[in-house]
Amino acid sequence: MTGLAAAYRRFSFLRQALLAAMMLALLVSFVADVATGPSLFPLADIWRGLFDAQSLSAAQAVILWDVRLPYAVMAVLVGAALGLAGAEMQTALNNPLASPFTLGIAAAATFGASLAIVLGLDFSGLGEHLAIPLMAFLFAAAATLLILVLSRSYGASTDTVVLFGIALLFTFEALGWLLQFIADSDALQQIVFWTMGSLARATWPKIAVVAAVFAVCFAFSLRQVWVMTALRGGEEQARSFGIAVERLRLVVLLRVSLLAAAALAFVGTIGFVGLVGPHIARLLLGEDHRFYLPGAALAGALMLSLASIASKSLIPGVVLPIGIVTALVGVPLFMALILGRRQRG
Amino acid sequence: MRAGLEVCGLTAGYGARQVLTDLSLPLLPPGTLAAVVGANAAGKSTLLKAIAGLRPARGQVLLDGEDLGRLGLAARLARVGYLPQQLPQGTALVVYEAIVSALRASRRDLTAADAEAAVERVFDSLALRPLALRRLDELSGGQRQMVGLAQTMVRDPKLLLLDEPTSALDLRWQLQVLETVRALTRRHQTVGLIAIHDLNLALRFCDRIVVLGNGGLLAAGDPAAAFNAETLRRAYGVEGRVESCSLGYRIVLVDRTLETTS
């Protein structure tokens, strides 16, 4: 190993330690999330119940396997998916304000869900309540496809992609308001609740879908860490290294859209994580995407896991929609990091 | 086979607008540093991008006898190092990461050990070791330009194309960057082509000069022979002189404009 490489290894050891610390914090948060809830359920009983189903009463088994665990796992997965999607989006569009919301993907998902609610779709053959996530996913995927087709036709410069995204965002928002305007009061209430985001919609099959999408996308992301890092140094520079920047951008957008569509379809609109998760990772780990991408996924997962705990703890006996709590938990964490960094100079 | 760079009948532009038409350059042998000068929109950047393969062009570009037009873009850019006009972006990447990613992104076949050795060589070659762990957003413009140069050189190109590498730099960094480029081209026997506005720097550091104007070549060759009052008039529409200063450097003095442009 060369002297310089050894010096860099020592330097990057801190980043690896920070990634490990984030993982540990996520594990602690996950356990706390499972242990938190309106019903009294000691941690020791939960631990025993995980390995010995007979040790739990029927009610406890339902609480653990159908409520607490799916909520906690879904919080981690959705947070990780949104964090990763935001990080990739910010690099691909060279814009620190980019997130899955920038391109109107979340607005499309919301419109799809609203349409299912207003039209009373049930797709009864596919199972209860599947119409809403399915429509949310279909519209998010359609929005993605539209952006990709338009970007391919008109050149995938960052400006073009962002402008198409913003146009889609406003279009779907306007259509969503139109639906809300004509919806009856029950449907309107459901739409509003959906847009607040909720982990209460988590089930194991949905978790499996989000987990599979995240695993596949993350694997492909890791294959592209060097080109993404090179792109972060400047688009013209990346082009001069022989990187096909437009193609890379389209591939990343496809990945981001899949992640966002899968995450948002099942839990509703959860903002902020996709925007701030990457910033937390950047502050802690820099922008070498070998550290930055896993860091953004971990930061997103940690933020949503903490938000899940807060959603069950802020008002005793009430589980708040997680979309409301996310920013309330995330902003102090984010501000602490920014101010801490400024004080260190 | 003739060693060095040859450009024959190059035509390039933006859409329907041709910027360069049927441009040919005399052979630039290995170890030569040539300046490409000319008025705004004369086609300096277009020429460099067309040679690199980053802009569609017709005609032949031969490097050591090999027709670069027959290569795919990745293979072409493995031989040609192009430094864009924009400085590397100020980000949270540290210099070591910016340079190693430039290499690993374009050369997937390299082992980590080979990449580290190549990076180490370029750090030594450009005296960048003190900056290795500094973030790009903490560097001055001159330091970032040196990083850009290192990102280009780490891929060990046979041809170095630099698009206005001194335009954003102060006087000290202008000299430092060009001294480094001249030393690198000689040491590595690379052909260097620099698009540059500053004629005094071009005359001081470059072995050849290529003057562009009216969509083609106005003059090319040794600076003393190719650059004179007539070239100034034709390329820039100014009346001026090329004189020698007390240190022996050739300097351009402009007396007046010959015509106004609107």
CB contact under 8 A, B93 and A227: no
Q: Given CB atoms, is B87 within the 8 Å cutoff of chain A?
A: yes
Report pLDDT for B262: 44
User: Residue B25 belongs to what H/E stretch?
Assistant: strand B17-28
Q: CB–CB of A98/A86 below 8 Å?
A: yes
**What is the DSSP secondary-structure string of B82-130?**
EE-SSPPP--S-BHHHHHHHHHHHH-TTS-HHHHHHHHHHHHHHTT-GG
* Minimal Cβ distance to A233: which of B96, B101, B119: B101
Distances (CA, A) of A73 to A45, A50, A59, A76, A254: 19, 14, 20, 5, 24
Q: Given CB atoms, is B74 within the 8 Å cutoff of chain A?
A: yes
* Span A133-171, pLDDT tens digits: 888 888 988 887 888 788 777 766 788 888 888 889 999
* Minimal Cβ distance to A287: which of B86, B92, B108: B92
Report pLDDT for A127: 55
Q: Given CB atoms, is B94 within the 8 Å cutoff of chain A?
A: yes
Report pLDDT for A97: 80
Q: Which of the residue ranges A75-79, B68-72, B145-149 has the most confident prediction, judged by mean pLDDT? A: A75-79
Closest-CA distance of chain B to residue A228, Å: 8
CA angle A11, A16, A20 (to 5 degrees): 150
Strand, coil or helix: what is A241? coil
Q: What is the mean pLDDT of residues B98-119?
A: 91
Q: CB–CB of B96/A4 below 8 Å?
A: yes
Q: Please state the ipTM of this predicted complex.
A: 0.88
pLDDT at A36 exceeding the cut of 80: yes
CB contact under 8 A, A234 and B155: no
CB contact under 8 A, B151 and A2: no
Report pLDDT for A208: 93
pLDDT band at A123 (very low <50, low <70, confident <90, very high): low
Q: CB–CB of B179/B125 below 8 Å?
A: no
CB contact under 8 A, B116 and A4: yes
Q: Which of the residue ranges A41-55, A223-237, A260-274, B162-176 has the most confident prediction, judged by mean pLDDT? A: A223-237
- Residue bearing tokens 């001194």: B166
To probe the interface with B, which of A287, A337, A341 has the most B CB atoms within 10 Å? A287
* Amino acid in the structure at residue A226: W
* Span B23-63, pLDDT tens digits: 999 999 999 999 999 999 899 999 999 999 999 999 999 99
Report pLDDT for B137: 92
Closest-CA distance of chain A to residue B74, Å: 5
pLDDT at B84 exceeding the cut of 90: yes
* Span A218-230, pLDDT tens digits: 999 999 999 999 9
In sequence order, which ranges of chain B are alpha helices (DSSP H)?
A: 44-52, 73-79, 95-106, 112-125, 141-153, 171-188, 199-205, 223-226, 229-236
CB contact under 8 A, A234 and B88: yes
Locate the chain B residue with the closest alpha carbon to A236: B84
Residues of B with Cβ-Cβ distance to A3 under 8 angstroms: 120
Q: Is-above-0.90 flag for pTM?
A: no
Cβ-Cβ pairs closer than 8 A, A with B, add up to 110
CB contact under 8 A, A287 and B91: yes
What is the rounded distance in angstroms from the CA atom of residue A274 to the CA atom of residue A283? Answer: 15
pLDDT band at A2 (very low <50, low <70, confident <90, very high): low
What is the rounded distance in angstroms from the CA atom of residue B149 to the CA atom of residue B99? Answer: 9
pLDDT at A233 exceeding the cut of 70: yes
CB contact under 8 A, A233 and B129: no
Locate the chain A residue with the closest alpha carbon to B149: A237
Residues of A with Cβ-Cβ distance to B97 under 8 angstroms: 8, 229, 286-288
User: Residue B260 belongs to what H/E stretch?
Assistant: none
What is the rounded distance in angstroms from the CA atom of residue B83 to the CA atom of residue B139? Answer: 18
CB contact under 8 A, A288 and B116: no
Report pLDDT for B69: 92
Residues 106-145 of B with CB under 8 A from A: 106, 108, 113, 116-117, 119-120, 123, 129, 132-133, 135-136
pLDDT at A47 exceeding the cut of 60: yes
- The structure tokens listed for B166 are 């001194």
What is the rounded distance in angstroms from the CA atom of residue A171 to the CA atom of residue A85? Answer: 22
Q: Given CB atoms, is B167 within the 8 Å cutoff of chain A?
A: no
CB contact under 8 A, A239 and B136: no
Q: What is the mean pLDDT of residues B210-239?
A: 90
What is the rounded distance in angstroms from the CA atom of residue B55 to the CA atom of residue B14? Answer: 8
What is the rounded distance in angstroms from the CA atom of residue B140 to the CA atom of residue A255? Answer: 35
